[in-house]
Amino acid sequence: MPKKNNSKKANRTTMSPNLELFLEHSIDPKNRLLYWGNEEIEAESTERLIKGIYILNDLGSKPIRLLLNSPGGDMYQGWAAYDAINESKAPVNIEVYGHAMSMAAIILQSGNKRLIHPRGVIMIHDGVQEMDGEVRSTESWSDWGKKERKRIYSLFAEKTKKDFFYWENKFAKDTIFNAEQALEVGLVDKIIKKSL
């Protein structure tokens, strides 16, 4: 009578190393793919993205595909991601799945190609700036916030089909664009019609 094999290895489904990397670290080196999905922009997710860009740049110069699905988050971490994408040796093409809101909408503008899937949405606003403390310090932060908003409006005017004053008006409140509207104003370059 044959012996039963009780080892876990015999019963376990094995994953390819590529799939394990993607599930654990949101990077697929074989397909030059990064996934930044359904999480806020904060230190850990930004670090993972920047390391992923570094790794893929080290492996070659073909375009990197970044799948973005984010509600936004920390502005400083967002600018770190923006700069890393913008300064990547390999072009980074960004695809919006689901949503790119707040800081994620700004990060989208760093893409070599800015793409959106048919049901994707983009939301922009001035964000939230909470201040407390000594009066002069809060005045300093307030002045900095005004300058930062102007920098963002200028960036959007440079990257899109609309001018500074259009974006100043749109950022004044939560403004949501569906895929067609985003294409019309130049927030994206193309609507992707086929799925993964």
Q: At which residue do the structure tokens 């793919």 appear?
A: 33
Looking only at the bridges linking them, the beta strands covering 33-37 and 64-70 are: parallel
Q: Are 45 and 80 contacting, i.e. CB atoms less than 8 angstroms apart?
A: no
- How far apart CA 64 and CA 56 sit, in angstroms, is 7
Q: Please identify which of the residues 45, 102, 110, 117 carries the catalytic annotation.
A: 102
Report the Cα 191 to chain-centroid distance in Å: 17
Looking only at the bridges linking them, the beta strands covering 92-101 and 114-116 are: parallel
Q: Is 125 a catalytic residue?
A: yes
Q: Is 7 a catalytic residue?
A: no
At 75, is the secondary structure helix, strand, or coil?
helix
For the annotated catalytic residues, the residue numbers are: 102, 125
